[in-house]
Amino acid sequence: MEPISFFLSTFTALADRIINLEKTKLQDKQSLFNEIAKPLFEELEPVVLNYIDFFQKARETIAESSQEDLRKVGRQIDKERLAMLVARIKVREMAKQIEEDIKDDEFIKFANAVSDFFYRATEVDKFASVGEELSKIIDWAAKNNEEKDVIIDFIDTVLKNLEKSWGLIVRSYGKLKIYSVSAPKFVRKHQNK
């Protein structure tokens, strides 16, 4: 009977190591979430609100301005956009660091959603921020004596896409939170269609 007790003790020790490994993995995910993803989300939220507010105010200012004042309005909007630059860079670079250093698909998806917020609200130029694109369009409209409606339509599209992008970030954050506090067997895998 000794071989059976040896087998049982070996099996029990192995099971304990597997359980401890799973606990360690779960704790690691929770630590990553609490130390990396949560602070990034908390840094991002006021930046997002500020960014959306910036575009709403720019829309109002342009709608109320005369065609002749577009250049002046454009310079003022540029000043306001540049005032937010430090916060945008901080959030963007934190997300980029996650993409480069953390080898976990859920964390990378979250970081990608954050990075995309400032650059994917339009399809004009994927390398320019949305604020830079607005400046270019205002400048172009002023030089070519284009109607303000072109700028307002652009801003309306940006606002709609920023809202959509923020929704994707919140969804990704929620998914990451669930993923980080749940044992792997409790997280449902979704098929991409």
Confidence of residue 68 (pLDDT cuts 50, 70, 90): confident
* In the chain, where the domains are located: 26-181
DSSP classification of residue 186: G
Q: How confident is the model at residue 163 (pLDDT cuts 50, 70, 90)?
A: very high
Q: Where are the alpha helices (DSSP H) in the chain?
A: 2-32, 38-64, 70-83, 85-101, 105-117, 130-143, 148-181
What pLDDT is recorded for position 193?
A: 44
**pLDDT, the chain, mean:** 79
Q: Is 102 helix (H, G, I), strand (E, B) or coil?
A: coil
Q: CA of 8: how far to CAs of 1, 16, 96, in Å?
A: 11, 12, 48
Query: Residue 48 pLDDT > 80, yes or no?
Result: yes
- The pLDDT tens digits for 88-128 are 888 888 888 888 888 888 889 999 899 888 776 555 545 56
Q: Chain centroid to CA 28: how far?
A: 22
- Whole-prediction pTM: 0.74
